[in-house]
């Protein structure tokens, strides 16, 4: 009556899922693994819709967190931060624009599911802030993200260097899990097999894969220089080497520029050695014969001579026409009311304005502005505390700034068709905000400071006390 493979999957998945949600940290680890290694995997069965592994990981994390808060030691409450108000306003605006835009097209179940995933991802920011409440969890999360990122990078490099026929067969075998099949699983510049191949790993899209590698790479970069890294320094160096190589193989110019931007921020704020490494890597890319095609691809992009850049310019013009006609609340997420307009542009900010209007874009910018304002306010105090906390702070904010910079030229970090990238950005925002807060587990265990003890305010409702 039932496919034996489905029964086998249930026998394996149910105990594994129960084990994962019995601990918040295990559920967070499962989410990090799914984002990095199983980003587009969907269940091979349908329940009116086809849930993805990422959907299950998010629901599992929320379930584990709620269970912990209802237990005997509820030590992960929602925290008061600067972004709570703007984030709630952005979610409300997204829901409002979705409802207003319903008459603009057919409401397919896939669109409903993807929009619900967007709202759930945005709400997860507050949960991530609550979960990553102390330095120990920060360190474990960074360690997991570096290792999973390195595994994803190694897989992407392996699929890139192996013979095309073998790579096509291996990737096509994932068709039951919602992946494409056939020769189109391999990606090339402008989809022309005569041009450079682009690494995709299991992300399908090379640009989204590049954005993921950008985030995990910049997040782990400060661990090379901090006195107490989250794992052995040689292992961190090896992991980051794999991540950078895979990032270059994606040929994603936006992701590579975002990585450079995030690394520059880390180098300028604290670790000057990061600037030296960045210079050495840049020199190697410019001088090695194997990378000359990549250098030429960048030059053509800056000059606006390649077809991909010219198509982007056309998308920008079309997006501005749509925003000009529907400036306030956009056209929603279903479709456009005019046949000469379409939703879609290679810029996260223009895409938000298309779908949610200037109001939605303003809510997004205010939310991000609140995160960056909190960073500016708290960095002087964090820089005087433990090097481990400073490294986590720099990595999270450097990766966030790099992702925001790449969003100028790409759209996947706020596109309902790329739920994995959206959840990655929300995870990163939550980690950045959490790094600005005091370690509540330590604060509760320590006695109240003397009156002459200097006090550093790291966030509304949270204080981190320095040494007397």
Residue 387 CB contacts under 8 Å (≥ 6 apart), including other chains: 226, 227, 228
Q: Give the distance from CA 390 to its chain's centroid.
A: 21
Q: Are 444 and 372 in contact (CB under 8 A)?
A: no
Q: Tell me, what's the pLDDT at 5?
A: 62
Q: What CA–CA distances, in Å, run from 268 to 321, 358, 387?
A: 39, 33, 16
Q: Give the N- to C-terminal CA distance of the chain in Å, as an integer.
A: 71
Q: In angstroms, rounded to a whole number, what is the distance separating the alpha carbons of residues 136 and 144?
A: 12
Domain extents for the chain?
1-77, 82-130+307-375+411-437+455-468, 132-305+383-410
Q: Residue 260: what are its φ and ψ, rounded to 5°?
A: -60, -45
Q: Tell me, what's the pLDDT at 369?
A: 96
Q: Are 437 and 133 in contact (CB under 8 A)?
A: yes
Per-residue pLDDT of the chain (468 residues; tens, 9 = 90+): 666 766 766 677 777 777 777 888 999 999 999 999 999 888 877 666 788 899 999 999 999 999 888 877 788 888 989 999 999 999 999 999 999 999 988 888 889 999 999 999 999 999 999 999 888 899 999 999 999 999 999 999 999 999 999 999 999 988 888 888 888 899 998 788 888 899 999 999 999 999 999 999 999 999 999 988 999 999 999 999 999 999 999 989 899 999 999 999 999 998 888 888 888 888 887 777 777 777 777 777 776 677 777 888 888 999 999 999 999 999 999 999 988 889 999 999 999 999 999 999 999 999 999 999 999 999 999 988 888 899 999 999 999 999 999 999 999 999 999 999 999 999 999 999 999 986 544 333 334 344 444 444 444 344 333 333
Q: Are 404 and 412 in contact (CB under 8 A)?
A: no
Tokens of 243: 């991540």
Residue 14 CB contacts under 8 Å (≥ 6 apart), including other chains: none
Residue 24 CB contacts under 8 Å (≥ 6 apart), including other chains: 61, 64, 65, 68, 76, 131
Pairing state between β 197-198 and 462-465:
unpaired
Enclosing H/E stretch for 143 = helix 135-161
Helices 419-435, 135-161: crossing angle, 10 deg rounding: 150
Q: In angstroms, rounded to a whole number, what is the distance separating the alpha carbons of residues 82 and 198?
A: 40
Q: Are 348 and 414 in contact (CB under 8 A)?
A: yes
Q: Are 223 and 391 in contact (CB under 8 A)?
A: yes
Pairing state between β 197-198 and 455-459:
unpaired
Enclosing H/E stretch for 465 = strand 462-465
Q: What is the CA radius of gyration of the chain?
A: 22
Q: Tell me, what's the pLDDT at 299?
A: 75
Q: What CA–CA distances, in Å, run from 151 to 155, 165, 223, 244, 274?
A: 6, 22, 18, 12, 23
CA angle in degrees (0–180, nearest 5) for 384-84-347: 90
Q: Are 212 and 220 in contact (CB under 8 A)?
A: no
**CA-based nearest residue to 428, from 403, 462, 408:** 403
3-class secondary structure, 187 = strand
Q: In sequence order, what are the beta bridge partners of 462?
A: 459
Q: In angstroms, rounded to a whole number, what is the distance separating the alpha carbons of residues 142 and 139?
A: 5
Enclosing H/E stretch for 397 = helix 387-406
Q: Are 229 and 185 in contact (CB under 8 A)?
A: no
Q: In angstroms, rounded to a whole number, what is the distance separating the alpha carbons of residues 210 and 255?
A: 5
Q: Are 221 and 240 in contact (CB under 8 A)?
A: yes
Q: Are 109 and 49 in contact (CB under 8 A)?
A: yes
């Amino acid at each position: 009556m039932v496919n034996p493979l489905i029964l086998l999957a249930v026998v394996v998945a149910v105990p594994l899922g129960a084990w994962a949600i019995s601990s918040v940290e295990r559920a967070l680890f499962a989410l990090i693994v799914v984002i990095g290694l199983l980003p587009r995997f969907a269940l091979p069965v349908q329940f009116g819709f086809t849930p993805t592994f990422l959907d299950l990981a998010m629901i599992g994390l929320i379930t584990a967190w709620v269970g912990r808060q209802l237990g005997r030691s509820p030590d992960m409450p929602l925290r008061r931060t600067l972004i709570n108000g703007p984030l709630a306003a952005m979610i409300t605006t997204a829901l409002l624009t979705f409802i207003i835009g319903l008459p603009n097209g057919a409401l397919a179940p896939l669109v409903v599911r993807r929009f619900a995933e967007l709202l759930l991802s945005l709400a997860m920011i507050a949960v991530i802030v609550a979960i990553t409440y102390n330095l120990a969890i920060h360190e474990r999360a960074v360690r997991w993200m570096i290792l999973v990122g390195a595994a994803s990078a190694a897989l992407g490099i392996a699929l890139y260097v192996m013979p095309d026929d073998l790579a096509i067969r291996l990737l096509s075998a994932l068709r039951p899990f919602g992946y494409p099949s056939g020769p189109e699983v391999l990606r090339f510049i402008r989809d022309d097999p005569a041009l450079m191949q682009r690494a995709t790993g299991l992300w399908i899209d090379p640009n989204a894969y590049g954005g993921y590698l950008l985030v995990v790479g910049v997040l782990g970069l400060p661990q090379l220089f901090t006195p107490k890294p989250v794992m052995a320094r040689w292992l961190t160096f090896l992991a980051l080497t794999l991540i950078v190589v895979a990032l270059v193989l994606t040929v994603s110019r936006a992701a590579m520029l975002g990585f450079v931007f995030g690394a520059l921020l880390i180098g300028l704020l604290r670790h000057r050695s990061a600037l030296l490494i960045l210079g050495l890597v840049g020199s190697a890319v410019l001088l090695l014969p194997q990378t000359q095609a990549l250098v030429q691809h960048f030059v053509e992009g800056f000059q606006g001579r390649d077809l991909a850049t010219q198509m982007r310019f056309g998308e920008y013009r079309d997006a501005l026409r749509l925003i000009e006609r529907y400036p306030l609340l956009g056209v929603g997420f279903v479709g456009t009311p005019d046949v000469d307009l379409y939703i879609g542009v290679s810029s996260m900010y223009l895409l938000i304005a298309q779908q949610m209007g200037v109001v939605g874009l303003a809510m997004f910018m205010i939310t991000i502005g609140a995160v960056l304002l909190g960073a500016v306010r708290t960095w002087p105090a964090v820089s005087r505390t433990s090097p481990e906390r400073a490294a986590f702070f720099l990595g999270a904010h450097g990766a966030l700034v790099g992702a925001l910079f790449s969003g100028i030229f790409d759209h996947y970090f706020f596109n309902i068709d790329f739920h994995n990238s959206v959840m990655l950005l929300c995870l990163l925002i939550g980690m950045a905000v959490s790094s600005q807060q005091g370690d509540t587990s330590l604060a509760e265990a320590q006695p109240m400071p003397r009156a002459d003890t200097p006090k550093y305010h790291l966030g509304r409702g949270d204080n981190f006390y320095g040494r007397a």
